[in-house]
Amino acid sequence: AKTGRSIKLLKLLTSMPAPSDAGKREELAKIAAKMEANYGAGKWCHEGATGNQECLSLQQIEKIIDDPEASPQARADAWAGWHETARPIRKDYQRFVEPANEGAREQGFADAGELWRSGYDMSPTEFEAETERLWSQVEPLYDQLHCYVRAELHEQYPDEVPADGLIPSHLLGNMWAQQWSNIYPEVQPYPGVGDLDVSSALQKRRNEAYKKRLGEFNGQPTPEDLAEIGHQADADSSVAMTKIAEDFYTSLGMPELPESFWKKSLLTQPRDRDVVCHASAWDVDMEGDVRIKMCIEPDEEQLYTIHHELGHIYYYLAYNDLPPLFQTGAHDGFHEAIGDTITLSLTPQHMKTIGLIDEVSEDEHAVINSQMKLALDKIVFLPWGKLVDQWRWKVFSGEIAPEDYNRGWWELRERYQGVAPPMARNEQDFDPGAKYHIPGNTPYTRYFLARILQFQFYKAACDQAGWEGPLHRCSFYGNKEVGEKLNAMLEMGASKPWPDALEAFTGSREMSGKAMMEYFAPLKEWLDKQNAGKPSGW
């Protein structure tokens, strides 16, 4: 049975199955590299505020889109500017699909999408039904959030946001409208109740690092010296933030990160070259040479992402002793869920303990505020997390033809997310390609599953810790027993079907959105009242 499982895993090993024909194999590899490079080098060049031509990287463009205080026009321009960068790979993507499908067919799958759906210890058809089932469990809460946010935004932007129908996607605080927590200040239910602003504390720490570095400098710094000092301060801040995340894991009894992690990771955007800044975690030799690559900035979202990346790292470290084919997640959603499970313990109370917020308010209004903020990330992500592969499955199967790539994309975005593009699109555009995982060819359903699973893991951890209060207030920081059980699941890698791993940690063999809904019960009740009488749906 172990051999059977190994052979199966071997077939599923790659998201880009190579055809046996050498020429096609090479073509596939070349296109993949080109698409990824195009993403990493993408720039939006336009006339800046000073009248000079300026070229902005994704990270810089995101600063505009993410900022609820930037004007709708500025945000629409930034959105269009970034999406423009994906146009050149539209043809490449089309050429990429063919050899990828051929490789999948050689392995006995109907197409590459079917191969992707085969990694879940059930048939591809069953898996598709499974994602539908999970979505239907959580969809009502998304619909309510959509309704509430649309009404709030309609008040603020009556010209841009309609009272009913689709929300324009550039006003939601994220390039892909995949998480909306950046507009939390604009839609917070009880303005000013409870302090949830972690970003400004992180920014402050970064500025203190700058002052310290400047104080250590001998003589009169030139502008170039100042830039270097700034870069060093960014690096100090990145390391300090990574240590905050590491500390959570070690509090659970996990090992400290190896020396080599600190030496070899890329934690700060280099000054001298383009890199793909999209965060990733690596196990270079499968024997403990673990690293992350991430252009860390001092804000809350990034602090969460570091916890996410370290989840991958601790998974790698836990299963390092298994045979190589088992050195992967129970399924890919598990891998994506571990670090996020940890972040659910970063409650306002915990943030206060580690000095990132000043006051914690315990009243009901503060609870609704903090649930809203989290839901704008966790719940809002779900339809997006599902639709990205919905699109690719259809592209691989031919249901979406190359001449309909962009239309097919927006149909799904409208249907699932209820969002619209800020301006008319056409088939010269390749809007899916403006999201890293499309040129990077990384399957995406894993993130949808992870959103659901992380609440199951979190609830199980809180049960293990003997927590008896409302779920959303639980933090398992420092609990070694939880750490041990968690590590036991991680150590299993992919040696057993995933339901065994899930059972080992949670006692259940089924994925379920119930823990997530339990977590957000207070918000759901509040939204029910708020939305009464408002138009819902789109």
What angle do helix axes 364-397 and 445-464 make, rounded to 10 degrees?
A: 140
312 as an active site residue: the answer is yes
- Residue whose CB is less far from ligand X8Z, 276 or 461: 276
Query: Which structure tokens are listed for 273?
Result: 């070259």
Q: From CA 101, how far away is CA 91, in angstroms rounded?
A: 16
Strands (DSSP E) found in 24-130: 44-47, 53-56
In angstroms, the Cα distances linking 195 to 306, 412, 456 are 22, 36, 27
216 as an active site residue: the answer is no
Could you tell me the smallest distance in angstroms from the CB atom of residue 436 to ligand X8Z?
7
Which is catalytic among the residues 39, 148, 447, 458? 447
Does 15 help bind ligand X8Z (rule: CB under 6 A)?
A: no
Contact (Cβ atoms closer than 8 angstroms) between residue 518 and residue 459: yes
- Residue whose CB is less far from ligand X8Z, 206 or 335: 335
249 as an active site residue: the answer is no
69 as an active site residue: the answer is no
3-state SS, residue 347: coil
Which is catalytic among the residues 170, 308, 335, 472? 308
Could you tell me the smallest distance in angstroms from the CB atom of residue 218 to ligand X8Z?
39
Secondary structure in 3-state letters for 473-529: HCCCCCCHHHHHHHHHHHHCCCCCCHHHHHHHHHCCCCCCCHHHHHHCHHHHHHHHH
Q: From CA 144, how far away is CA 520, in angstroms rounded?
A: 12
- Residue whose CB is less far from Zn ion, 195 or 336: 336
Figure out which of the listed residues 199, 280, 320, 536 binds ligand X8Z, where binding follows CB under 6 A. Answer: 280
The contact set with Zn ion (CB under 5 A) reads 336
Could you tell me the smallest distance in angstroms from the CB atom of residue 339 to Zn ion?
7
Could you tell me the smallest distance in angstroms from the CB atom of residue 168 to ligand X8Z?
20
Spacing of C-alpha 538 from chain mean position:
25
Q: From CA 89, how far away is CA 428, in angstroms rounded?
A: 11
**N- to C-terminal Cα separation, the chain:** 49
Does 315 help bind ligand X8Z (rule: CB under 6 A)?
A: no
- Residue whose CB is less far from ligand X8Z, 308 or 394: 308
Could you tell me the smallest distance in angstroms from the CB atom of residue 280 to ligand X8Z?
6
Q: By beta-carbon distance, which residue lies closest to ligand X8Z?
A: 279
278 as an active site residue: the answer is yes
Could you tell me the smallest distance in angstroms from the CB atom of residue 279 to ligand X8Z?
4
Does 305 help bind ligand X8Z (rule: CB under 6 A)?
A: yes
Could you tell me the smallest distance in angstroms from the CB atom of residue 251 to ligand X8Z?
23
- Residues in Cβ contact with 154 at an 8 Å cutoff, skipping those fewer than 6 apart: 161, 162, 163
Closest CA to 377 of 180, 515, 189, 524: 180
Residue 447 binding target from ligand X8Z, Zn ion, none, CB below 5 to 8 Å by type: ligand X8Z
Spacing of C-alpha 139 from chain mean position:
19
Q: By beta-carbon distance, which residue lies closest to Zn ion?
A: 336
- Residue whose CB is less far from ligand X8Z, 229 or 450: 450
Closest CA to 296 of 227, 400, 206: 206
83 as an active site residue: the answer is no
Residue 279 binding target from ligand X8Z, Zn ion, none, CB below 5 to 8 Å by type: ligand X8Z
494 as an active site residue: the answer is no
Q: Is the dihedral of CA 393, 180, 382, 149 positive or negative?
A: negative
- Residue whose CB is less far from ligand X8Z, 265 or 305: 305
User: Please, which of residues 408-467 interact with ligand X8Z by CB under 6 A?
Assistant: 447
Closest CA to 458 of 372, 380, 520, 500: 520
Which is catalytic among the residues 84, 307, 336, 405? 336
Could you tell me the smallest distance in angstroms from the CB atom of residue 447 to ligand X8Z?
4
Does 477 help bind ligand X8Z (rule: CB under 6 A)?
A: no
Q: From CA 516, how far away is CA 229, in angstroms rounded?
A: 44
Query: Which structure tokens are listed for 201?
Result: 């504390």
Which is catalytic among the residues 170, 312, 335, 472? 312
Could you tell me the smallest distance in angstroms from the CB atom of residue 519 to ligand X8Z?
18
126 as an active site residue: the answer is no
Query: Which structure tokens are listed for 361?
Result: 């308010």
Secondary structure in 3-state letters for 274-327: CCCCCCEEEECCCCCCEEEECCCCCCHHHHHHHHHHHHHHHHHHHHCCCCHHHC
Strands (DSSP E) found in 224-336: 280-283, 290-293
- Residue whose CB is less far from ligand X8Z, 57 or 232: 57
**The length of the chain, given as a count of residues:** 538
- Residue whose CB is less far from ligand X8Z, 248 or 447: 447
Does 279 help bind ligand X8Z (rule: CB under 6 A)?
A: yes
3-state SS, residue 291: strand
Number of chain residues interacting with ligand X8Z (CB under 6 A)? 5
Contact (Cβ atoms closer than 8 angstroms) between residue 13 and residue 332: no
Query: Which structure tokens are listed for 161?
Result: 């946001």
Residue 524 binding target from ligand X8Z, Zn ion, none, CB below 5 to 8 Å by type: none
Which is catalytic among the residues 83, 146, 170, 278? 278
Contact (Cβ atoms closer than 8 angstroms) between residue 120 and residue 332: no
Q: Which positions lie near ligand X8Z, rule CB under 6 A?
A: 279-280, 305, 308, 447
Catalytic residues: 278-279, 308-309, 312, 336, 437, 447
